[in-house]
Amino acid sequence: MRLIIAEKPSLARAIAEALPGRPAREDGALVVGDTTVTWCLGHLLEQAPPDAYDPALKQWRLDHLPILPAEWKLMPRPRARGQLAVIRRLLKSAREVVHAGDPDREGQLLVQEVIEHLGWRGEVSRLLVSDLNRPAVQRALSRLEDNARYQPLYRAAESRARADWLYGINLTRAWTLTGRQAGHDGVLSVGRVQTPVLGLVVRRDAEIRDFAPRPFFVLWVDLEVEGGQLRAWWQPGETHPLDDQGRLLVREPAADLAERLPGAGGRLVRLESRDKRQAPPLPYSLSALQVDAARRFGLSAKAVLDICQRLYERHKLITYPRSDCRYLPEEHFASARATLEGACRQDDTLRDWLAGADFSRRSRAWNDKQVGAHHALAPTGKPADTSRLEKAEADVFRLIARNVLAQFYPPLATREVKAEFAVAGEAFRARGQEILAPGWKPLFTTREEAPPLPPLTEGEPCRVREAGVEDRETRPPEPFTDASLIKAMMNIGRHVEDPAVRRTLREHDGLGTEATRAGIIETLVERGYLVRRAKALRATRLGSALIASLPDAVGRPERTALWEQRLAAIAEAGDDPAPFLASLVEDLRGLLTSADAGGLRQALATARGEEPAAAGRAPARRRGNASRRRRGSGASRSGRSRSSS
């Protein structure tokens, strides 16, 4: 018997339906000829709790820390024992095993840890499915690989799970116990991803709260030129009081000049014109889709992830959604027309976009060198009857289809014009943009660009019709939203102060993963560290106090981003995981010495922030059940996704 172990039931059904023959249902499996397809239910196994290593560790005590397992143990998740028993039974009759986890680091871990835990010693093949439609699954079945090729990916995922356990268990226990000494009776959860994300929000809120607006002043003139009229802006010189962005800090020079300008003549002294061609936006990764869907439809990152899972698993309308890639395999180009014609057939909006596509065009999106374990999100070709989808599902599907359709549209061609005028001995500048060819732009709702300028000739005269001064003031940064926080997590190097570290992070830029970012935000809300105020995400007093009490490095992104760099080296270059974990343990020992009841007491007393929503969940209270205490220890995977803490 050939045994295929899928990550979840929906994938198992798609595999069974792609095999020759009619699937027969058995307990926990589907049988098609000589092949049996079974499944996991997300993670069937989890890291064992501390008391599995030593019963004394069930009690939380500072003198037990750090807890460092000498030999790592896994244990069945409570609701997974039945399916684990099914797989154990089937393995006993198998002559060949096929690993059919999702094509990512976590998918590799999820199935392989079950195979190893149950003691299988034979060969294992790897089946990579990113599209649940039958033809795609059949192609994948014809291209089985040796699972040994993916051993580095498994070791990286295993190292990540162990590192999260070490970091979360030890720091959560240390700060929770110190918090009790400081008078706080709740669990203070610390994680290597969730805490830096919380730190981003806490610091942004502090910038907003402490922001002191400063007035500045701008002078405009409406100029009459031969070809029409335009508005230009005064460029004050260095003799005037300016801030570091060249903004005028006192009103008088602008007001005095404005009084003298009406009727004054001048000349166009410099004219720059540049034609630009802009390629269409690439197809979506999950995070890029979450950012756009949040901005356009107000959907939370978690809502977008859930919608994508339904479009992938239930409706089979899109390819594997938990992708960090924005490129498509070159082999997909040949079938793109048929795929998109099928996907767009039953929706008026999509049919209109399809009508403008030129399938002889080949954009930069088709690039095998940029495609890793998975490719960008794309329609599968199954006709999408958007009238039978929920509105949010239809909205998100159209975005995904639109960005692939845009690859068959011409570039956006524009002409940017910059003009500088000399009037009354002062410089005034204007800029405009003219759309020469709209290309892909009509498919997108984009911000308005500068309107075009009238025809201009360098050296031509101008005359001031009117002038005015606008009183403005500097504005604080915007609070984080789901969209901007996801974007910050994607581009975390921009939030790193050390230039050397920022350079290091350019190739490994990201906090969390495509699959975990939405869950991290929701976890912080559930634990009472963040609240939503309309679209804004704000830190609570408890969240602010936790960040204030921790060593600065724990609440900043440098450490976890560098972790991802080390994990990438394990996954991609086959580095030994042992030095990574050894350096983590050394780091932990230093961090644990920073737990201080006095500092935490002061942080809890002086923290500023929002109060949790009345309907939200309060932070976890002290629990006697050790398994529930583990919520503070790190990542958890509920059914489908593992949310790094």
Structure tokens at 202: 């806490």
Q: Which H or E run includes 223?
A: strand 215-225
Residues whose CB falls within 8 Å of the CB of residue 557, separated by 6 or more in sequence, listed in order = 196, 199, 200, 492, 495, 496, 511
Dihedral sign of CA atoms 98, 104, 106, 109 in order:
positive
State the pLDDT at residue 271. 97
Q: Is the pLDDT of residue 630 over 80?
A: no
Residues whose CB falls within 8 Å of the CB of residue 604, separated by 6 or more in sequence, listed in order = 179, 182, 183, 184, 542, 545, 549
Q: Which H or E run includes 411?
A: none
* Angstrom distance (rounded) from CA 49 to CA 62: 17
State the pLDDT at residue 503. 65
State the pLDDT at residue 447. 63
Q: What is the mean pLDDT of residues 372-382?
A: 89
Model confidence at 68, in pLDDT bands (50, 70, 90)?
very high
Model confidence at 507, in pLDDT bands (50, 70, 90)?
low
What mean pLDDT value characterizes the chain? 90
Q: What is the mean pLDDT of residues 520-540?
A: 95
- Among 182-196, 481-495, 532-546, the least confident range: 481-495
Contacts of 564-573 spanning 24+ positions with Cβ under 8 A: 564/508, 564/510, 565/504, 565/505, 565/507, 565/508, 567/105, 567/156, 567/159, 567/160, 568/156, 568/508, 570/152, 570/155, 570/156, 570/159, 571/105, 571/152, 571/153, 571/155, 571/156, 571/157, 572/152, 573/152
Q: What is the mean pLDDT of residues 410-426?
A: 97
Q: Are the beta carbons of 551 and 190 closer than 8 angstroms?
A: no
Model confidence at 504, in pLDDT bands (50, 70, 90)?
low
State the pLDDT at residue 434. 92
Model confidence at 621, in pLDDT bands (50, 70, 90)?
very low
Residue whose C-alpha is closest to residue 450's, from 421, 415, 499, 484: 415
More confident residue, 1 or 572: 1
Q: Is the pLDDT of residue 643 over 50?
A: no
Q: How many CA atoms lie within 13 A of 552 on its CB side?
A: 3
Q: Are the beta carbons of 88 and 3 closer than 8 angstroms?
A: no
Q: Is the pLDDT of residue 57 over 50?
A: yes
- Among 15-19, 382-386, 505-509, 637-641, the least confident range: 637-641
- Is 320 a catalytic site residue? yes
Q: Is the pLDDT of residue 378 over 50?
A: yes
Q: DSSP states of 138-157 as a string?
A: HHHHTT-EEGGGGHHHHHHH
Q: DSSP states of 361-407 as a string?
A: ---TTB-GGG--SS----B-S----GGGS-HHHHHHHHHHHHHHHGG
State the pLDDT at residue 102. 84
Tally of CB atoms within 10 A around 425 = 8
Model confidence at 493, in pLDDT bands (50, 70, 90)?
confident
- Among 200-209, 227-236, 552-561, the least confident range: 552-561
Q: How far apart are the first and last CA of the chain?
A: 40
Model confidence at 500, in pLDDT bands (50, 70, 90)?
low
Q: Which residue has the tokens 């350019």?
A: 506
State the pLDDT at residue 367. 93
Q: What is the mean pLDDT of residues 225-239?
A: 95
Which position among 154, 312, 320, 327 bears the catalytic label?
320
Backbone angles phi, psi at 288, to 5 degrees: -60, -40
Q: Which H or E run includes 128?
A: none
Residue whose C-alpha is closest to residue 174's, from 618, 600, 559: 600
Residues whose CB falls within 8 Å of the CB of residue 534, separated by 6 or more in sequence, listed in order = none
Q: Are the beta carbons of 25 and 623 closer than 8 angstroms?
A: no
Residues whose CB falls within 8 Å of the CB of residue 382, separated by 6 or more in sequence, listed in order = 133, 315, 316, 317, 342, 343
State the pLDDT at residue 418. 97
pTM of the full predicted structure? 0.85
Q: What is the mean pLDDT of residues 495-520?
A: 74
Whether the bond into 411 is cis, omega within 30 of 0:
no
More confident residue, 612 or 418: 418
What's the pLDDT tens digit per position in 121-132?
999 999 998 878
State the pLDDT at residue 611. 87
What's the pLDDT tens digit per position in 256-278?
999 999 999 999 999 999 999 99
Q: Are the beta carbons of 20 and 113 closer than 8 angstroms?
A: no
DSSP assignment, residue 313?
I
- Exposure of 274 by Cβ count < 10 A (0-12 exposed, 13-18 middle, 19+ buried)? exposed
State the pLDDT at residue 42. 86
* Angstrom distance (rounded) from CA 605 to CA 545: 8
State the pLDDT at residue 106. 87
β-pair partners for 218: 470
Residues whose CB falls within 8 Å of the CB of residue 44, separated by 6 or more in sequence, listed in order = 76, 77, 80, 83, 84, 87, 110, 114
State the pLDDT at residue 638. 36
- Among 456-470, 560-574, 581-595, the least confident range: 560-574
Model confidence at 619, in pLDDT bands (50, 70, 90)?
very low
Q: Is the pLDDT of residue 635 over 70?
A: no
